[in-house]
Structure 1
Amino acid sequence: MPQFDLPLAQLREYRYQEPEPADFDDFWARTLTDQPEVDVVFEPYDAGLTTVDTWDVTFTGYGGDPIKGWLLLPANRSGPVPTAVEYLGYGSGRGIPIESLAYVSSGFGHFVMDTRGQGSSWRAGDTGDPSATGPAVPGYLTRGILDPDDYYYRRLYTDAVRAVDAVKRHDHVAEVAVTGRSQGGALSLVVAGLRDDIAGAVPHVPFLSAFRRGTAVTEREPYAEIVRWCSIHRTKWERAFATLAYFDATAFAARATCRGSFSVALMDGVCPPSTVYAAFNAYQGPKDITVWPYNNHEGGGPEDQLRTIRVLRELFQ
């Protein structure tokens, strides 16, 4: 796919102009307050690895729903280790531990949060979503889209915030940073905006940012799910975007104060560069962005993982 979005000079200045809801902060304060206490179970798990200790984790997510995850720690640790909490891309689940060895091989802890209701597109998951409601097109972006209280991402964002509480309960977890790719990058921005106790956020080609812009400039999935829903429910599109405004990663980025280290791909038809820059330019903490001029949604691929490791070393020194 060619470079289809704004020129790089304009991307660096791009600001998303859609106003956020007046009660945005109240909505999220209420959402996070109206939850049961976080409970977590760390069950030792034999992953067949000799250099990594693994736990099968279950913690209390949104509404008391059980959410799964993997915790991986270096077997040769002498005490608590700094840990990366990773959120996953659209359609992905936690998979199996052998798929998540890069960060723990670099000496960090690694918590991989499963994604409720997903985990059947490209990596397996083990967590359901018992609260799905309302007419929706295939996928997750339009589930409950007419009411912020019922919207799918209200549940997933809350899970992501509570995952940090869960992993911090382990005796051998020290400081925490958050990271992820695409949907996972958006979740890391959400957590950075809603918490003040994380060391940094490393979002790769983040999704769920500048919804109106994303749906206007790309025909690719998953933004096309919203377009398809609005084309069928053609008298309700304004209500749909009013809901989405509570879940825009740009708004959370504007509340984040920890270090943010982004990546963007200029040929990305899934998360258009202007949507990534909308979040980056709104981000309030110290920040940097790595640009991949000739890449699509894979972004920097393994180079982004190496970049994350370098950032974690800087954060945790």
Structure 2
Amino acid sequence: MVRVDLPLEQLRTYRNPRPAPPGLAEYWDRTLAQSRAAAGPVRADRVDVGLRTVTCYDVTFPGFAGEDVRAWWLVPVLPDGVAAAGTPGTRPVVVEFLGYGGGRGLPHERLIWAGHGFAQLVVDSRGQGSIWNTGDTPDPHGSVAGSLGLLTKGVDHPDHLYYRRLLTDAVLAVDAAARLPGADPSRIAAVGHSQGGALALAAAALNPAVAAVGARAPFLCGIARALEVTDAEPYGDLARYLSVHRTRTEDVLAVLDHVDVSFLAPRLRCPTWISVGLADPICPPSGIFGAINAIEAVAPEVRTWPYGGHEAGGAHDDAHLAAWLAEHLGPAAADHHLPPDQHPNQGQP
């Protein structure tokens, strides 16, 4: 095995040695209550992007502080005579969160979950979308001087953190998904890779409407531990910041603890799937296992890849997760027929 961290037998019992920040539950309850109080409507405008088997909507929903967040809503077109399982005309939902530096891009770039029959909400990441894909959601908040990346934005105070805003957007994306055309609000999953995996886990921990969560190589797990194990970006950017602000290390880490997924993991109550590359140089396995081992209410499904890097199991994970989601959310479509006047797609805009 290409070892970049602790051996697997130690990872299985590793816990984040830092204590959770005081008042963490109140911090998130207050943040979410304030943002929900400021929320406006969810808007979904059907757009023709040339897809033949998926109906696409351009979505705007209220995120942190009621600010607009963009998304794509991708709903598979049912064959004539086939009804969606569950409530007629509805499908189980996958809310997909994206990796560091990417935005929602174009609809045809992210069809994996719609291809498996789920209604799919592809959530833009505020202030991102210029590293590997394009984005459409600004982050209208300044901060004290940070480094080049996102981990150091707002590290002067927990209320100023960039990731407070992004995690709030993720939680409220689940609220929005429940209100979209064709969604079954009782069958919503959150999924993502890397930063997207952190957002999925946070959304599931902080929003009881999430019925299942899948995270591949999640970011923001054991932030302080990651600084000890890797100098790869994005953690390398935080290390660079602390090398300049030499006397602020503990203060900065105490602020970032408020968005560390290992401290939110005890709130997870839904079926949980996590994949870890044991040779991941970007999101160290020990930090991820610190989150896994903090989950108390459910026994998570954990997949480990001895030679997997930051991709963990890659496409193999995607295939396994699709089957796992179908098991926990129920099938996307049922093989029964409806009369033409009861076809679930009839009369939809």
| Fold shared by both chains (TM-score > 0.5) | yes
User: What amino acid does structure 1 have at the position aligned with 2:222?
Assistant: A
Q: Out of 302, 307, 314, which is 2:320 matched to? A: 307
SS in 2 for 1:290: strand
Aligned match of 1:231: 243
Kindly state the Cα deviation for residue 38 of structure 1 after the two structures are TM-superposed: 4.3
Aligned match of 2:19: 19
Aligned match of 1:95: 105
Does 2:82 match 1:82? no
Q: Distance in 1 between matches of 2:61 and 2:209?
A: 19
Q: Distance in 2 between matches of 1:204 and 1:59?
A: 25
Provide Cα deviations, 1:7-56, integer angstroms capped at 9, x if missing partner. Answer: 11111111111001120000111111112124210010112111000000
Q: Distance in 1 between matches of 2:126 and 2:149?
A: 12
Compute the RMSD of aligned alpha carbons. Answer: 1.2
Kindly state the Cα deviation for residue 173 of structure 1 after the two structures are TM-superposed: 0.3
**Contact 1:267–1:295 (8 Å) recurs in 2:** yes
Kindly state the Cα deviation for residue 242 of structure 1 after the two structures are TM-superposed: 1.0
Q: Distance in 2 between matches of 1:205 and 1:120?
A: 21
Does 2:207 match 1:190? no
TM normalised by structure 2 equals 0.89
Structure 1 segments (4+ residues) deviating >4 Å: none
Does 2:174 match 1:164? yes
Q: Distance in 1 between matches of 2:304 and 2:158?
A: 33
Q: Distance in 2 between matches of 1:271 and 1:216?
A: 12
Structure-to-structure mapping, 1:217-228, within 5 angstroms: 217-228=229-240
Aligned match of 2:219: 207
Query: Percent same amino acid among aligned pairs?
Result: 42
**Contact 1:192–1:253 (8 Å) recurs in 2:** no
Q: Distance in 1 between matches of 2:212 and 2:142?
A: 31
Provide Cα deviations, 1:128-148, integer angstroms capped at 9, x if missing partner. Answer: 111131111111110011100
Aligned match of 2:74: 72
User: What amino acid does structure 1 have at the position aligned with 2:188?
Assistant: V
User: What amino acid does structure 1 have at the position aligned with 2:108?
Assistant: I
Kindly state the Cα deviation for residue 99 of structure 1 after the two structures are TM-superposed: 1.0
Q: Distance in 2 between matches of 1:2 and 1:291?
A: 13
Q: Distance in 1 between matches of 2:221 and 2:116?
A: 30
User: What amino acid does structure 1 have at the position aligned with 2:306?
Assistant: P
**Contact 2:2–2:306 (8 Å) recurs in 1:** no
Aligned match of 2:137: 127
Aligned match of 1:252: 264
Q: Distance in 1 between matches of 2:314 and 2:154?
A: 32
User: What amino acid does structure 2 have at the position aligned with 1:316?
Assistant: L
Q: Distance in 2 between matches of 1:269 and 1:146?
A: 28
Aligned match of 1:59: 61
With CA pairs under 8 Å and 6+ residues apart, which has the higher RCO, 1 or 2?
2
**Contact 1:38–1:165 (8 Å) recurs in 2:** no
Provide Cα deviations, 1:101-158, integer angstroms capped at 9, x if missing partner. Answer: 1111111111010000011100111111111311111111100111000010111011
Q: Distance in 2 between matches of 1:311 and 1:262?
A: 11
User: What amino acid does structure 2 have at the position aligned with 1:8?
Assistant: L
Q: Distance in 1 between matches of 2:132 and 2:97?
A: 14
Q: In terms of Rg, which structure is larger?
A: 2
User: What amino acid does structure 1 have at the position aligned with 2:150?
Assistant: Y
Q: Distance in 2 between matches of 1:281 and 1:238?
A: 24
Structure 1 stretches of 5 or more lacking a match? none
Kindly state the Cα deviation for residue 2 of structure 1 after the two structures are TM-superposed: 3.2
Does 2:128 match 1:118? yes
TM normalised by structure 1 equals 0.97
Q: Distance in 2 between matches of 1:132 and 1:142?
A: 12
User: What amino acid does structure 2 have at the position aligned with 1:64?
Assistant: G
SS in 2 for 1:18: coil
User: What amino acid does structure 2 have at the position aligned with 1:210?
Assistant: G
SS in 1 for 2:149: coil
